[in-house]
Amino acid sequence: MVNKTLTASDALSADSLRPVSKSQKSFHTLVTRIKERRATLADWEAYRLEFNRKYNGDLVPRRQKLDEVRSQLIQRLDQSHDMRELTRTERKIVVDLISHVAEQVLMSVDDPVVAEIHGRYNASPRADEASIQAERAAAFHQVPADDLAEDVDTSSPEEAMRRIQDELDQQERREEQQRQAREDAQAGRRKVHERKSARARAHTEETEAHVSLREVYRKLVSALHPDREADPVERGRKATLMQRVNRAYADRSLLELLEIQLELEHIDQAAIDSVSAERLKRWNAVLKEQLRGLDRELAEVDSEFQMRCGLKPTGTTSPKIIKRALNEYLADVSRFIQLFERDLKVFDDIERLKPWLKEMKGHLQSVD
């Protein structure tokens, strides 16, 4: 029987006193790592409530305030653009500032006023399209006449370029097909057979892993089926356990199913250590898949918290690191609000506006 002072997971991950095989070592290592991933996920979920409270209660209002003051700055810049006291160079700085700040605002919020101002100081899509058409026409005229198909309408550069691009695409596809054919021929039948064999092995392993999972599941279902229990209290307990079993099976969590078996004392540590090598191999395949799934889930959760803190997802973090990053993000937003509010005051005095524009020119050059 399982030592009652140990949890089911402790029993599964405990080292046996007798020599263990490589597969048994892998089994215990996988169990330990899955437990670690579960604990980390539990830490993230425990922190989520605190994070959301601070994010929604503190950060969201501050970011809205930041967008408001930046929008005000853009409007004041727009109003100052045609001031006769400004030089052409200073007006150019005003335009650059409008573009830079407006792009930041529009990435954060849909502000029609900012969008309209930004549009007035930037090239229109129609002008960009005219530039593209001119480049295409110039490229067309540089193409030697001998390279054009006989039925190409040379009076229409657009049509000619389209036909030329189609012919180049077809030629590229033909060359790719020829290259692929050469590679297949060089690989020969042996490599083709090896690829098929590898796929067949993977399919076989997946099938065997599912069989092992289903095997443990069926034993638990047979033992726990609540309809077979007369005692109402025991029937309720078994119904609860059945819910755990069904969730574990749906999640392909072999470890969870084995832990339930240990809790029910259907197996003990000695029974696990004496599992046949073939069955243990299949169990390890299922546990590896489970571990990969937990790693993916952890990466997604971690990435989500990093992005919400304004970080570029890189590497792994922890609730402690994210908590510090969120506080730093809040401090940065508050600092920017103060800076923009200070900058708004320079528009009331031309003698302050001119040196401020010169200072801003340096900032713009440093971020380019």
pLDDT digits over 244-281, tens only?
A: 888 888 877 777 777 777 666 555 566 666 777 777 88
For residues 325 and 333, give the distance between their C-alpha atoms in angstroms, rounded to a whole number: 12
pLDDT at 1: 40
Counting as low any pLDDT under 50, the low residues of the chain are 1-6, 15-17, 125-128, 132, 139-140, 143, 145-148
pLDDT at 4: 41
For residues 212 and 245, give the distance between their C-alpha atoms in angstroms, rounded to a whole number: 15
Closest CA to 75 of 110, 109, 108, 120: 120
User: What 3-state DSSP class applies to 85?
Assistant: coil
pLDDT at 5: 40
The values of phi and psi at residue 265, to 5°, are 60, 30
Closest CA to 115 of 76, 77, 74, 64: 74
Burial 272-297 (b: 16+ CB within 10 A, else e): bbebeeeebbbbbbbbebbbeebeee
pLDDT at 148: 46
Closest CA to 361 of 118, 114, 91, 104: 91
pLDDT at 127: 44
Give me 170's structure tokens: 């077809």
For residues 34 and 43, give the distance between their C-alpha atoms in angstroms, rounded to a whole number: 14
Q: What is the pTM for the complete model shown?
A: 0.59
Closest CA to 342 of 67, 77, 93, 69: 69
In which region does residue 3 sit, left (phi positive, over 0), alpha (psi from -120 to 50) or beta (all else)?
beta
User: What 3-state DSSP class applies to 313?
Assistant: coil
Answer for the pair 160, 153: CB distance below 8 angstroms, yes or no.
yes
